[in-house]
Structure 1
Amino acid sequence: MGATFELLIQGGRVVFGDRVEQADIGIREGVIAAIGKLPAEEAESVLRADGHVVVPGMIDVHVHFNEPGLEDWEGIPTGSAALAAGGCTAYFDMPLNGLPPTTTLAAVEQKKRLLAGRSNADYALWGGLVPGNLEELAPMAEAGVIGFKAFMSAAGGKQEGAFREVDDTELYRGMQEIARLGKILALHAESEAVIRALAADKARRGLSGPADYARTRPVYAELEAVRRALFFAEQTGCALHFVHISSPEAVREIGAAKRAGLDVTLETCPHYLTLTEEALEEIGPVAKCAPPLRTRKELEGLWQAIAQGEIDMISSDHSPCPPDWKASDDWFEIWGGIAAAQNSLELVLGEGHRVRGLELPLLCRLLSANPARRFGLAPCKGEIAVGADADVAVVEFAPYVLRREHLYDRHKQNVYIGKTMHCRVRQTVLRGTVVYDLRKGIVRPAEGRLLAPLPKGG
């Protein structure tokens, strides 16, 4: 008679949706088959997690892997390896900055071919809403995109054919169509009019340093765009998801809309929870992002919003580029993106639980359960439960200093190098298979699968 389980994760403290308790996890055919006190002799293989915490694998809804066309920026194998090493078992790839961007049915199918057999985690695709592609939205929805992404400010790509922002008319019409399709629109919400005027003023005065850049993207530019998008959503019935929200003021605005009945969620990112605007000077160009890093007051306000349940999820917004795109004295020319896909789970659990005392179930909801529910992947993804996919990370709460040699992404331009991290991923398990081990690295061939969402995020 064969073993009951292919893999048994034994001896760990398991983070469930509402509690943490000692339990073993029995896995059969990639699915959690039993939870409780389980004998080792019933398993083909045993993963000892004594003294460690077992958490649901992170679902990172916001990464940029840049294929096709810009593989020298990142690429699927290296980007997904970094995620796996950071305890992430599923991700959503953004429609930029590949060439062509994922804004047509043909581009969606091309991206699927590129991902097949090359990803170290499960994945889903965002489609893009850009000028002139309204008729492509329905075919992309039929092809299974998780939702659509649009920019309310300049999208940043300089190459011919790069992703472009929409104006208000294009945004409104796109939201009407996305509502009809029962999909979600993810928005980069910053006011292009505000940014352009402030940047022009800096240029006239010959100001191009890090503080000058940050002052051209103030909180009120984010807040104005959020309010405008919420108004459009009220008129069109379009479900919204705001990406990389950087200010507690915007969190409160979105929360008020949610309480008024709008179908809206928001994410923030680890860099807004761990870095302030001082990092622009101290760390340099690798810390440039959009929206920019904020003040200590705003950072603390975001943590308070997390504690109060006002933030829905946390994503990396991994936005890599070649080193020469970060090499300039002119901060308006430097590529705006932080590349830290590998560190999200460790930063959120370490800073949130070990430093601030927030409960692990709350933090794991932000990293895993809430993304799964919002985007139609629950109950198979996002929680440790019988019948769910066996996607987990084993985490050791012991400090270590992040070094460049720990990283798996392509260019390793990481804002956290030299930082003491408060916890560390020891193993990542994807559908019952150990894909990453701290001592061995990536230990399995790329076996990530395309994830199919339910209509309108379930």
Structure 2
Amino acid sequence: MYDFVLRGTLVLPDRTVQGGWIAVSGEKIAAIGEGVPPAASVFRDVGDALVLPGFVDGQTHATSYKGLPGFAATSRSALAGGITTMVDMPYDNPDPLNTVDRFDLKVAAVNEHSSCDVALYATIAPGQGTAEMARLAAKGAVAFKISSMESHPVRFPRLPANDMFDILEASVETGLPVGLHNEDQEIVRGMIARFKSQNRITPEWHEPSRPVVAEMAATANFLELGAATGAHVHIVHISHPRGYDLVSRYREEGVRATAELCVHYLHFDAARDIGRLGARMKVSPPIRPGVLDDLWHRLDEGKVDFISTDHSSWPIDNKYTPSIFDAGAGIPGLETLAPSFYTDLKAKGRAPERIMAEYLSEKPARFFGLWPQKGALTIGADADMAVMTPGSYRFDASRTFDGLNWSPYDGETFDARVTMTVLRGNIVWDGKDVLAQPGAGRFIARLPDAKPVV
């Protein structure tokens, strides 16, 4: 007898199976089949609902506001959104994850506070040197993250080009990708100073204050450093189609380059939405006007490596400032990732379930070296599943589990919702309540035999 059997429409790596079942022993998928399901201690039949591999969010900022205890609320929100594994960024409050000691502290915090599984980025501070990188990789870090734009002088600093070069050289031996927050600091700061002097401080000035050229200049510089070092250079968010073309061009030349797309860039339009949302849609790089169709086209062309949330744990009060340049950048996104992407895919005439399984599960799991443990419904994998039930529903941000209870998506109507989440064989979200307790989640290290994606 199996411990748990789930029956529904299975989204498997090579096909979709209506009336299929997945059997779980312990924490692993033990069997997959069709027809009469086998006996189990716990059985659930979700009818025609989609059973997808648990989502892997490749860009979460769980600890940037409340520090390491921020895993508690953020992970509950992840489970309510079908996300069974978060890949958390290293810009913790008050100190970044740039040493082995801080890595150990963060792993302990995951095991104490998190309700979902967590993989970890690490970083290197300006002037720190690269000696710690191999040790952080040995601890199980899945990637390094650096920035060309300062958000905070200690927690989220700018790395000068010589430091970037050294970090990329050292990263080759570790086998880990190095991600970049890609904005040119001098251009952005110059534009902000100009707009402030002209009293242009309302929300519509955020996007032009961080122009496309600032994003492309930082991206191109990083790609050239990657070409010179042989490192895997990854752009963690690109807001404009030209960026995906740029990465693709370098990749065709043999550079180990990849590009990530945050789901809000596929949904919002600066010209259309800034009037109603204001600072609530402030992210950096900013949401652009008039590029939605072209971004979808880049996704269709295969120029996007995976899709993430860039979930930010800022309270709404952080957005209420007289000047848009003082408002915090970032939005919550864990509970809207799957419903938003599903709805937009359906509206574009795509098959949502196949693309979601690929871009929200398999591709990020492979990228971060977690596959085949994570990212697919296959025998031997962790029994992580997200059940999506088609049907119209109105998203109410006041009922989210992230402790923030605001969202630029508030009041939108989606075409499907996550009605069950299974983490390693246990039902942790039943469509109404998060059933997992803090500590149910685990730190997930990059697998030692993980193969690079480029």
TM-score normalised by L of structure 2: 0.94
Distance in 1 between the 2:230 and 2:59 partners? 23
Unaligned runs of 5+ in 1: none
**Range that drifts further, 439-448 or 273-282:** 439-448
Q: Which of the residues 35, 55, 59 maps onto 2:56?
A: 59
Distance in 1 between the 2:4 and 2:370 partners? 23
| Deviation of 1:334 (Å) | 0.5
Query: In the alignment, does 2:43 pair up with 1:46?
Result: yes
Query: In the alignment, does 2:140 pair up with 1:144?
Result: yes
| Deviation of 1:310 (Å) | 1.6
Contact 1:182/1:456 (8 A) holds in 2: no
Distance in 1 between the 2:254 and 2:32 partners? 37
Q: Which of the residues 417, 425, 435 maps onto 1:442?
A: 435
2:289 corresponds in structure 1 to 295
Cα deviation digits, residues 430-454 of structure 1 (max 9, x gap): 1111111113333555411111113
Distance in 1 between the 2:172 and 2:346 partners? 38
Distance in 2 between the 1:19 and 1:204 partners? 58
Distance in 2 between the 1:354 and 1:396 partners? 17
Distance in 2 between the 1:112 and 1:32 partners? 26
Contact 1:353/1:360 (8 A) holds in 2: no
SS in 2 for 1:27: strand
Q: Which of the residues 180, 183, 187 maps onto 1:187?
A: 180
SS in 2 for 1:265: strand
Q: Which of the residues 390, 395, 417 maps onto 1:397?
A: 390
Contact 2:10/2:17 (8 A) holds in 1: yes
The amino acid across from 2:276 in the alignment is E
Contact 2:76/2:434 (8 A) holds in 1: no
Question: Would the alpha carbon gap of residues 445 and 214 (structure 1) be closer, same or farther in structure 2, given more than 3 Å must change?
Answer: closer
Question: Would the alpha carbon gap of residues 404 and 363 (structure 1) be closer, same or farther in structure 2, given more than 3 Å must change?
Answer: closer
Alignment of structure 1 residues 369-448 onto 2, 5 Å: 369-444=362-437, 446-448=439-441
Q: Which of the residues 270, 281, 294 maps onto 2:275?
A: 281
Contact 1:73/1:410 (8 A) holds in 2: no
RMSD: 1.9
Distance in 2 between the 1:280 and 1:106 partners? 42
| Deviation of 1:206 (Å) | 2.1
Question: Would the alpha carbon gap of residues 107 and 411 (structure 1) be closer, same or farther in structure 2, given more than 3 Å must change?
Answer: same
| Deviation of 1:397 (Å) | 0.9
Distance in 2 between the 1:262 and 1:252 partners? 14
Cα deviation digits, residues 164-184 of structure 1 (max 9, x gap): 110111111111111232211
Contact 1:74/1:411 (8 A) holds in 2: no
**Range that drifts further, 195-204 or 387-396:** 195-204
Contact 2:67/2:94 (8 A) holds in 1: no
The amino acid across from 1:78 in the alignment is A
Distance in 2 between the 1:437 and 1:446 partners? 18
Alignment of structure 1 residues 111-130 onto 2, 5 Å: 111-130=106-125
| Deviation of 1:50 (Å) | 0.2
Distance in 1 between the 2:176 and 2:393 partners? 41
Q: Which of the residues 166, 169, 177 maps onto 2:159?
A: 166
SS in 2 for 1:383: coil
SS in 2 for 1:51: strand
Query: In the alignment, does 2:261 pair up with 1:259?
Result: no
| Deviation of 1:250 (Å) | 0.3
Contact 1:185/1:239 (8 A) holds in 2: yes
Contact 1:186/1:243 (8 A) holds in 2: yes
The amino acid across from 2:182 in the alignment is A
SS in 2 for 1:111: helix
Contact 2:115/2:438 (8 A) holds in 1: yes
Alignment of structure 1 residues 235-250 onto 2, 5 Å: 235-250=228-243
Unaligned runs of 5+ in 2: none
1:317 corresponds in structure 2 to 310
SS in 2 for 1:450: coil
| Deviation of 1:275 (Å) | 0.6
Distance in 2 between the 1:272 and 1:431 partners? 31
Where in structure 1 do 4 or more consecutive aligned residues deviate above 4 Å?
none
Distance in 2 between the 1:72 and 1:121 partners? 17
| Deviation of 1:280 (Å) | 2.6
Cα deviation digits, residues 38-79 of structure 1 (max 9, x gap): 544511111111020111111001111126xx4289811100
The amino acid across from 1:49 in the alignment is V
Question: Would the alpha carbon gap of residues 371 and 456 (structure 1) be closer, same or farther in structure 2, given more than 3 Å must change?
Answer: farther
SS in 2 for 1:14: strand
SS in 1 for 2:355: helix
Query: In the alignment, does 2:208 pair up with 1:211?
Result: no
Contact 1:73/1:322 (8 A) holds in 2: no
| Deviation of 1:145 (Å) | 1.1
Distance in 2 between the 1:279 and 1:73 partners? 33
Distance in 2 between the 1:441 and 1:115 partners? 17
Between the two proteins, what is the percent identity of the paired residues? 29
| Deviation of 1:294 (Å) | 0.8
**Range that drifts further, 87-96 or 208-217:** 208-217
